[in-house]
Amino acid sequence: QVQLVESGGGLVQAGDFLRLSCEASGDSFSLRGMGWFRQTPGKEREFVAAISWNGFSTFYTDSVNGRFSISRDNAKNTVSLYMSSLKPEDTAVYYCAQYYGQRYDGTVNYWGKGTLVIVSS
């Protein structure tokens, strides 16, 4: 069983930056694609960003492309999401996810419990 624990959420102003981190348990982290999703009340969870097992490939949803950056450290079993130029519409609970495969075009096997990001205008 893999556990994913997010940290770094908080209240920021529009235009600020924030860095989310996710630490994974287990010894399969370096073999799996990782991702970040977000959800607001009344809406479905949506994809934000993902990174392949070796960090060589990343993908972003259009609304964050150019503002957010995903990275990983396989030696520390962590994946991070650097968020800049934050907008009020980025307000959400952000979830860390581990994919079944090495990339991010498959099933998410594990989810974290989420960390809340609030961006005030």
Rg (CA), the chain: 13
Return the pLDDT at 74: 97
Q: How many CB atoms lie within 10 A of CB 31?
A: 12
Task: Report CA dihedral (12, 67, 69, 1) to the nearest 10 degrees.
Answer: 60
pLDDT surpasses 90 at 27:
no
Look at residues 28, 18, 33 and name the one whose alpha carbon lies nearest to residue 81.
18
What digits encode the pLDDT tens for the residues 5-25?
A: 999 999 999 999 999 999 999
Higher pLDDT, 87 or 103: 87
What the block records as the tokens of 81 is 């999401």
